[in-house]
Amino acid sequence: MTPLMTFVKALIVLLLCTPMAFASVSSTNEFDQVLIGKNNNDKEIAIEWLVDNQPAATAKPILRAWLEGNLFYYKNKKSEDYQQLFIIAARNGKQAESIWESKQLVVSRSRDFAKVRVNNKLRSLIRVQLASLGLNSPDAVIRLQAVDGLLGQTDGEIIKRFAAQLNVEPDTKVQQRLQLALSVSTALDSSAPTPVRTAAVNTLSDYKQAIVLQTLNKLQPQSLDPDLSAAVERGLDKYHQSQRLYSGVETVFFGLSLGSVLVLAGIGLAITFGVMGVINMAHGELIMIGAYTTYVMQQLLPQQSGTALLLSIPMAFIISGLVGIAIERSVIRHLYGRPLETLLATFGISLILQQAVRSIFSPLNRSVSTPDWMAGAWELNPMLSLTYNRLYIILFCALVFISMVMILKRTPLGLQVRAVSQNRAMARAMGIRSERVDALTFGLGSGVAGVAGVALSQLTNVGPNMGQAYIIDSFMVVVFGGVGNLWGTLVAGLGLGLFNKLLEPWAGAVLAKILMLVFIILFIQKRPRGLFPQRGRAAES
């Protein structure tokens, strides 16, 4: 073998035996240069350096901006900021912020900036590092979010971090979530002893997170030890049983919220229909006026949606009540004792009110913003969340109902309303001015309809036709519960709401509504005066 061949062979052996060297990162400048480059292995090293050597307050915004595609480098060679990294929060943003210094740079030309490249592997690593950073936070909520972000990860380094954190974690909720993460990893570890995996599966069965079902479904089709397989089956049965239970609780909650809406929509109609015998087809438009009042109040107080919503309640009651009194004094008082004519007259009034709203606010639907304290949901457990807006509407319905009962039971107006509703002729003989009672009663019922509109504005868009969706339901609640009886309205509204939501999963929304209507028709055939009929000589007749 010639000396040249010997030298070449030795050089090849030396190159093969020498470990591949990657770029090292020891400063912010080197970090910038690595991210600008195209070597993804070097970028992984840079990510680890950033997490290990920089505070979380610095590392997290950089990683998050990189993950979201908002990390750029400056490529204008004429500038002193050449090849420095900047964060641009929005695509059309005019300000770029340096990742290391509190320095702002005006984005005069977008072509001066180039995005830092990232692939799927780097995205996965960034997500893991972002979640891992939260484990060191002094805030228990952030630590809990960090563990949730890593649930299902089986990487050995992450599991070691979880185990180490569990030994020093003071918060009970975070301890439980760490235990869940470790149990998931152990259950999926085929190299672990069967008794250990079985114990991990039994631990998983006590949790209700979605990762539990995913883990057990991964284990089910595998060829497992009989004890482990039995533990998986028990865990699946327990999880599905909990799902059915909390799904039923959620259905009841949605039924109560729908029933509360029906009660709010029907309670005003129950008063006017029961006392005056007026078939008010404009009741839905009075609800609409209350909803538009909420919209107008939020336009007047654009930065204070919560205050605007609270002020809308008395304003909607006053405005809808005044409109109701105007309707009663101008039209209804001439048609007492002629229910079919009141139906036609109020139907015409409803069309007039709709057109008036279209002329003032346009035919387009208007959106009413939800205050921060009504947004989101109350999470009782991972399987059951109760939305705050529906929860507040249930409480609001209870408050309105109690207020109406107190008005009718504890005030002179309530005494007169009950007297007129039971026997109008006798009430007149006792000196009660029935015309005044009629006007105030119609105004009271209309005001409550306006308050219902405030509640409905938090569930649906506000539009000229929104009242038409609730007029039929309002009459069904009143007739089913008993004309003029508030307790009947409450029971009927909540009952029909629950009945509707229980039928919807298997019958569908339309068929459920039809079945509910058929049920009411059959019930009225047996009890024409509803669940709680009005008492009194006039009522009996």
Asked whether the CA dihedral 490, 496, 502, 504 is positive or negative, the reply is negative
Q: CA 334, 337, 339: angle at the middle one, nearest 5?
A: 95
Res 22 pLDDT > 60: no
Contact 366, 292 (CB under 8 A): yes
Q: Whole-prediction pTM value? A: 0.74
Contact 424, 538 (CB under 8 A): yes
245: tokens are 């239970």
Per-residue model confidence (pLDDT) at position 515:
85
The candidate with the shortest Cα–Cα distance to 282, out of 479, 468, 485, is: 468
Contact 401, 267 (CB under 8 A): yes
What b-and-e string marks burial along 429-459, b requiring 16 or more CB atoms within 10 Å of the CB? Answer: eeebebeebbbbbbbbbbbbbbbbbbbbbbe
Burial class (CB in 10 A: 0-12, 13-18, 19+), 200: buried
Q: Find residue 113's DSSP bridge partners.
A: 74
Spatial distance between the Cα atoms of 470 and 461, rounded to a whole number of angstroms:
14
Q: Find residue 469's DSSP bridge partners.
A: none
Per-residue model confidence (pLDDT) at position 296:
93
Biggest alpha carbon–alpha carbon distance for the chain: 135
What b-and-e string marks burial along 206-217, b requiring 16 or more CB atoms within 10 Å of the CB? Answer: ebbbebbbebbe
- Per residue in 24-73, pLDDT tens? 677 888 888 888 888 888 888 888 888 888 887 788 888 888 888 888 88
What confidence category does residue 190 fall into, taking pLDDT thresholds of 50, 70 and 90?
Answer: confident
Query: Can you list the domains of the chain with their CATH numbers?
Result: 28-121 (no CATH), 147-224 (no CATH), 250-368+397-540 (1.10.3470)
Per-residue model confidence (pLDDT) at position 297:
93
> CB under 8 Å to 49, separation ≥6 — which residues?
25, 26, 31
Please provide the average confidence, as pLDDT, over all residues in the chain.
Answer: 83
